[in-house]
Amino acid sequence: MSKSLKRVARALEEAGLPDTIMEAGESRTAEQAANACGCALDQIVKSIIFAGEESGAIRLFLTAGGNRICTAKASALAGEALGRADANLVRATTGFAIGGVSPLGHLSPSPIWMDPRLLEFDQVWAAAGTPRHVFSIDPQVLMKLINAQPADFVE
């Protein structure tokens, strides 16, 4: 088991949650992940990381699988212009590679915003630290666990 996957499993355990991690194969898109999990597209949690153009600090936005992030809305929430974070910054800050960024178990905490669409489901699926693994969780529990703020930042 990879260090990243272990960190997510440990975060779930420390929160008193069941280990629902499963291998989903090489799911490069939200559609592929939804098919692998047997769920609706919008039950897939996409972890999108931006970097502040002035501060360089990362910001995490969790959105439903079928949604796209509006950079202008995301920037307004962050209080500065945002650009895509490069792979090295993502790994150094979160401990995860792009494609496997879990919403929990980060090396360094960062502000997190959550798409309210995710809260419409009893269960959602998110990356578990690798591009091949996901875990399921009640989105309300996830939001509280990671101290995410619900906000409108989608197109």
Sign of the Cα pseudo-torsion (111, 63, 15, 51, in order): negative
Q: How many separate helices (H) and strands (E) can be counted in the chain?
A: 5, 8
In angstroms, the CA 55 to CA 69 distance is: 20
41-97 pLDDT, tens digit per residue, is 999 999 999 999 999 999 999 999 999 999 999 999 999 999 989 999 999 999 999
What pTM does this model have? 0.94
Q: Residues with Cβ < 8 Å from 97, sequence gap 6 or more?
A: 4, 87, 90, 91, 130, 131
Domains of the chain (ranges plus CATH)? 3-150 (3.90.960.10)
